[in-house]
Structure 1
Amino acid sequence: MARGDHRVQGLARVAVVVRAGAAPLWWFGVLAAGVGVLLPGITGRRIGVMAGAALFIITAAVVAYARRRRYTALARGAARAGKHDVLQDRAVSVRNWRRAHRWWIVLAFALALGSGFAVPAAGGMLLAGAGTGLRLKAAWLGRRERADDVLLWIRVDWLDKRGGAPAGKSVKGYRSTGIAAGDATPGGARRRGDVYA
């Protein structure tokens, strides 16, 4: 990404995009697990819940640590955002990501519900673990942003490719701004006044 590129570019916060899937995956996972507990299943509730707890922990860890080297490399090479760059609101970034992934989330929820007939609650807890992992990854990005005293941004047009992965192959680099830019705190949470949430 050239520093001398004067074209108008829309930028979305990296941490906001990462965090966008956390809430729907968590709540759909909790709902699917709650329904699953009501089903006896093939394995029985006790085994299902124990398996689900293990899946929750493993999934959360895998999602939280996945592609950290890629994120780190992109962050290290981030170019300073220019005056022609347009910073996208947090709500718009979240809405765009969820709209682009809504059918995948619905499908994951349906599969988690269906798995309750075999292994009660396990599928829902796996889904909730994925949501937790995304929140942990966003928090890690937030700690990095605070340490480097920058916020990391990604071009919106690159997010439109390959399902909107913020560290996907279509992403050539990040841009950075000061810590006070935009309406989201380090880590992607909603900004409330001047206090970082």
Structure 2
Amino acid sequence: MRVTRGAQGLVRTAVVVRAGAAPLWWLGVVAAAVGVLPVGFTGRRIGVLGGAVLFLVVAAAVAYSRRQRYVRLTRGASRAGKFDVLQDRQVTVRNWRRGHRWWLALAFLAAVGSSFAVPAAGGMALAGAGAGLWLKAAWLGRREQRESALLWLRVDWLGPRAGAPVGKRVKGYRATGTAAGDAAPGGARRR
């Protein structure tokens, strides 16, 4: 690993990935519960069975999407500089949720609205997206533990809406030891 010069604000990659898991999961669960009330065009039974399939498909798609880019950025990670500022986990989560609050609200409304056609399916798909993000964060955590290095990226590369940690603006990751920051490997709170 090479050492980079110049202080930068750094945010944990796994925390950014994990930040959307809880709101998507809970909004999906609520939307599915509300979505069971209308009979819809397909009927409740078909809606719930279709929703279960959607849950699995969306969770797998989200969990496995863009993994090659994560691996490429991880392999090219440079060592974080002495004066780099590591952002707290709570700040990262709050910023992600603020940047995505309107998208989350629209996704929830779309999931509830789709229940009039296919009961509960939209909510279960939304919950699947949350589960997929959690699985992706867990996968990143296993990589961090195996390599004994936590992965970070520059805050300014995420943009005002806290974009994807593998987006076009992201040129590379930085690495620190596993004791750095206030989040464990995978982005969970340290115990």
Give the alignment's TM-score, normalised by structure 2.
Answer: 0.97
Q: Is 1:162–1:170's contact at 8 Å kept on the other side of the alignment?
A: no
Aligned to 2:188: 189
Say which SS state the counterpart of residue 100 (structure 2) adopts: helix
Map Cα deviations across residues 90-138 of structure 1 (whole Å, 9 max, x no partner).
0000000110011001000000000000000000000000000000000
Aligned to 2:91: 92
Q: Which residue of 1 aligns with 2:66?
A: 67
- The corresponding residue for 1:76 is 75
> Contact conserved, 2:99 with 2:161, CA < 8 A, in 1?
no
Mapped to 1, the partners of 2:111 and 2:32 lie a distance apart of: 8
CA contact under 8 A between 1:161 and 1:170: conserved in structure 2? no
- 2:152 is paired with a residue whose SS is strand
Task: Calculate the TM-score normalised by the size of structure 1.
Answer: 0.94
In the TM superposition, structure 1's runs of 4+ consecutive aligned residues that sit over 2 Å from their partners are 2-5
Counterpart CA distance in 1 for 2:161 and 2:34 is 33
Cα shift at 1:17: 0.2
Name the CA distance, whole Å, in 2 between partners of 1:102 and 1:161: 13
CA RMSD in angstroms, aligned pairs only: 1.1
Counterpart residue number, 2:102: 103
Alignment of 1:1-197 (within 5 A): 3-6=3-6, 8-160=7-159, 163-192=162-191
Q: Which residue of the partner structure matches residue 195 of structure 1?
A: none
For 1:75 and 1:18, how far apart are their aligned partners in 2?
Answer: 15
CA contact (8 A) 1:63 1:134 kept: yes
Deviation at 1:5, TM superposition (A): 2.6
CA distance in 2, matches of 1:157, 1:111: 31
Q: Unaligned regions of 5+ residues in structure 2, if any?
A: none
SS of aligned partner of 2:105: helix
Q: Structure 1 residues 4 and 56 mapped into 2: Cα distance closer, same or farther (>3 Å)?
A: closer
- Cα distance in 1, alignment partners of residues 43 and 59 from structure 2: 24
Query: Matched residues in 1 for 2:4 and 2:99: separation?
Result: 31
Distance of 1:163 and 1:87 partners within structure 2: 16
Q: 1:162 to 1:172 in 2, by over 3 A?
A: farther
C-alpha separation in 2, matches of 1:182 and 1:99: 22
What's the offset of the Cα at 1:84? Answer: 1.4
Q: Give 1:39 deviation, angstroms.
A: 1.1
* Displacement of 1:161: 6.1
Cα offset for 1:4? 4.3
CA shift, 1:163, in A, is 4.8
Structure 1 contact 145–152 (Cα < 8 Å) conserved: yes
